[in-house]
Chains A and B, each alone.
Chain A
Amino acid sequence: MRIGVDVGGTNTDAVLMDGMQVLGWAKASTTADVSSGIRAAITSVLNKSSIDTAGIRLVMIGTTHFTNAFVERKRLLPVGVIRLSLPAGRGVPPLADWPHDLRERIGGHVYELPGGYQYDGRVNAPIDEQAIAEAARAMRAGGITTVAISGVFSHVDAAQEIRAAEIVAQEIPDVSLSLSHRIGRLGLLERENAAVMNASLADLSRTVVQSFGDALDALGIAAPFFISQNDGTLMNADTVRRYPVLTFASGPTNSMRGAAYLSGLKNAIVADIGGTTTDIGMLVNGFPRESSVTVDIGGVRTNFRMPDVLSIGLGGGSIVRNDAGVSVGPDSVGYRLITDALVFGGDTLTTSDIAVAAGHAEMGDPSRVAHLPAELVERAMEAINAKVEEAADRMRTSAESLPLILVGGGAVLVSRDIAGVSRVIRPDHASVANAIGAAIAQVSGEVDRVFSYEVSGRDAAIATAKQEAVADALAAGASSDSVEIVDIEEVPLAYVPGGAVRLRVRAVGDLAVAA
């Protein structure tokens, strides 16, 4: 058996699964130390299911903790930045496009040094080991404990970044190292940004990963734990300790993967209705469709793999008004739902009150909404439906009518058919879809580099890329019989003769641990 945990901003959810079957679930409040919230949720689900901890083989955790910390600028460390690029890139220094407050706070030690490759892997400039050592000594003198290293085309050949890291590690004892080739794909600036963001979280990631481990230890769970990353696949504790940035945006991914699992559908629209917002995304072949635009996190440009999600102001706490016609949201009572909503004794009319009045939800005291005029309830339901309809339509990419899966605590708000979708599905356990998404996550491998079709031919190049992606997935812990290629993207290098093509291939598979 295994446990999936979702550590959200408000709630920590836990689900217990045996194979692909959900045995039970529980919710607890997220706590400042993270650990006690996880402990409470897991204890609760185990008690409900009367399962002994000895039977737990795996724990999967999804968390938005690191994203929130970066966006809120909490516990960020000053970072030493080494870019191996000279003589290239002098006109666009590291952190050039960062918000001023962040640059002031974490970017005092920036070094542009010789290094880098050509697109085809030839060395563009050798590294200067002495210059790297000198930079590291200056950083050490400045109290730097975490260093980000980036290099031109380092995702094609990582040797220079790795050598530079060795030198820095010799000069700064116990330094945390964030190497850009481990995080990003093509695009030095975005890859470097991600490495610096990651480096700034080094202290927090140690604490949080430690607290995950502590929570499990305290419960006597000896099973290894894995943490979900933004593409819906897993990484081990050591990887997340070193690369917390890879968890960014794993929340929406987990809820969409959970929706896919609960509904048994691989292609569908998913609406995750929470307390304040509804996130709407598309499942394509069982995975969230990725965003095609550059994602801005806390004011910093990145090229992470992120699900393409549309957030609208609709949730269980959305305020319903009856002024000039009935309107819903976008403002919400948020976590005050349990005190402010009519059914909970408050005096704010919310979507939850409407759902109770309409007989679609059971919470609080239904007699407190019995007085609501039927027409008001009807109009509000229409308004809720219209919002979901419009958002679902914006996310659709073909005229083909797809099913809509409703998940999240607010899924009860939508009670009728939605125009433009083939059917509306409200799966069991929909309120803990995100924890389920964490529990069923797979592991992935990816290759993203430039091939010359003129040299090798297209078929051979793609075959090589597939092999490398599969090898990468196996290295991440996938079982060999489950690995499959899920995505191939070809982008010819514009303006270049010679058949140079950027190939991105992704493989995913189930974890090789029986559970």
Chain B
Amino acid sequence: MMQLTLEDMPDFARGAAFLGTGGGGAPHLGQIFCETAIRRHGAPQIIPLEDLDDDAAIYGIAMMGAPTVIVEKLLCGDDALLAIEKLEKHTGRKADAIMALEVGGINSSLPVAIAAMRGLPVVDADGMGRAFPEIQMTTFNVYGVPLCPYVITDEHMESTIVEARNGDSGEAIGRALAMQMGLAVMISAYPMTGRDAQRTAVGGTMSLAVEIGRAITAGRRNGDPVAALIDYLRTTTYYNQAKLLFDGKIVDLVRETTRGFAIGKCTLAALDGSDSTMEIMFQNENLVARQNGMMRAIVPDLVCIVDRETAEPITTEGLKYGLRVKVIGTSVAPSMRTPEALSVFGPKAFGVDEPFVPIEEIA
């Protein structure tokens, strides 16, 4: 079994921010949180899906709330530990390992820090291989592992157990609770067995985040981090259909708050002097990229915006008029592209009235 060490954290945070496709909140906070936890408690083991015992008890963990609140309240740790303890008490089973709901931003760092604090391994997997805005948008939910019961806690160590009839309802109730509890809440959800995890999770994503970060770091030393990143992605199991979609500057940015999400559209103009433009729609995460009106990549495939010089991933909140960026699109795990999966987090789930087309089938 390998460890996620202190030295891995900058690369891990950077790679997770890339997989976050614009969502997931401030990656550096997650990084500092992890580093602090590892300094205090030691580095956690990271356990591959195939090494899990069939009946191991796995607990998912995530932060729910607004990135703009998290940057003020920062992170605690005890609240997330409490969420797991409450869920353990409720199900009657002690956790054998911790698992991320999403790899992306703070939510990939959180399980690493919590695993370090509890002295438990963190599973090398998550429930989407990217970030999504809602907690029912996981492959766990798609393939029959229920979201509930789940526990929601805040920094005052207040807690609630949610037992909703399905994932959608569980998300809606959780969101209402999160509002009242101050918008920086922790949840422990999707209690499952090792067998369930092997069957439903997207594997290898935590270690992949480290590798993506390393590829960017190495690219910076050699002069072309974006090319290095794409070259690396092409060697991976899930993200191998990786394309440079666009090289441009942000020339327009429209944001609005609808249904409680940061929804918007970002327009890029080409840097090569041509009239080519790219439009990227987002709902917390980037959803679809269109070049001159033609679709180039669409959710759940990844649409990632990175700094064109350093390949630093840019979150939707960090988008700003005038930024010079490159847009990278990649494929995702096959289990994310099935009809069942697309009904939970395909284009329609975000109000995008276009069918999903795999990136490798788009010219």
Q: Does A250 contact B (CB under 8 A)?
A: no
Partner pick for B72 among A90, A119, A394, CB 8 A cutoff? A119
CB-based contact B72/A153 at 8 Å: yes
Q: Using CB atoms, name the residue of chain B closest to A450.
A: B68
Question: Which residues from chain A contact B157 at a C-beta distance below 8 Å?
Answer: 87
CA of A398 to CA of B32, assembled, Å: 36
CB-based contact B35/A498 at 8 Å: no
CA of A399 to CA of B248, assembled, Å: 11
Stretch in B225-233, B288-296, B318-326 with 4+ CB within 8 Å of A:
B318-326
Knowing A90-B77, A119-B68, A397-B251 touch, does A496 contact B37 (C-beta < 8 A)?
no
CB-based contact A186/B72 at 8 Å: yes
A302 → chain B closest CB, angstroms: 12
Partner pick for B269 among A96, A399, A453, CB 8 A cutoff? A399
Contact residues of A between 469 and 503, Cβ < 8 Å to B: 490-502
Partner pick for B71 among A116, A124, A189, A396, CB 8 A cutoff? A189
Q: Does A230 contact B (CB under 8 A)?
A: no
CB-based contact B251/A119 at 8 Å: no
CB-based contact B318/A89 at 8 Å: no
CB-based contact B35/A96 at 8 Å: yes
Contact residues of B between 46 and 67, Cβ < 8 Å to A: 64-67
Q: Does B199 contact A (CB under 8 A)?
A: no
Question: Which residues from chain B contact A76 at a C-beta distance below 8 Å?
Answer: none
A89 → chain B closest CB, angstroms: 4
CB-based contact B184/A92 at 8 Å: no
Q: Does B249 contact A (CB under 8 A)?
A: yes
CA of A119 to CA of B35, assembled, Å: 26
Partner pick for A92 among B33, B260, B261, CB 8 A cutoff? B33
CB-based contact B182/A92 at 8 Å: no
Give the interface size class of chain A: 35 or more
CB-based contact A97/B28 at 8 Å: yes
Listed residue (A96, A153, A294, A301) with the most chain B CB atoms within 10 angstroms of its CB = A96
Q: Does A264 contact B (CB under 8 A)?
A: no
A507 → chain B closest CB, angstroms: 20
CB-based contact A502/B71 at 8 Å: no
Contact residues of B between 236 and 288, Cβ < 8 Å to A: 249-251, 255-257, 259-263, 269, 273, 284
Give the interface size class of chain B: 35 or more
CA of A90 to CA of B37, assembled, Å: 11
CB-based contact A301/B321 at 8 Å: no
Q: Does B74 contact A (CB under 8 A)?
A: yes
Knowing A292-B320, A398-B249 touch, does A500 contact B77 (C-beta < 8 A)?
no
Question: Which residues from chain A contact B322 at a C-beta distance below 8 Å?
Answer: 282, 289, 292, 308, 397
CA of A450 to CA of B69, assembled, Å: 10
A353 → chain B closest CB, angstroms: 31
Q: Does A170 contact B (CB under 8 A)?
A: no
CB-based contact A97/B32 at 8 Å: yes
Q: Does B120 contact A (CB under 8 A)?
A: no
CB-based contact B261/A495 at 8 Å: yes
CB-based contact A152/B179 at 8 Å: no
- Write the residues of chain B forming the contact surface with A, with a CB cutoff of 8 angstroms: 23, 28-29, 32-33, 35-37, 64-69, 71-78, 113, 133, 155-157, 175, 178-179, 182-184, 249-251, 255-257, 259-263, 269, 273, 284, 307, 312, 316-318, 320-324
Which 9 A-B residue pairings sit nearest by Cβ, starting from the closest? Answer: A497-B260, A492-B257, A397-B322, A89-B74, A494-B262, A91-B77, A292-B320, A88-B73, A92-B74
A92-B75, A282-B322, A493-B68 given; 19 more Cβ-contact pairs under 8 Å: A88-B73, A88-B76, A89-B76, A90-B77, A91-B33, A91-B36, A119-B68, A124-B182, A189-B29, A189-B71, A398-B251, A491-B317, A492-B262, A492-B263, A493-B262, A494-B23, A495-B133, A495-B261, A499-B257
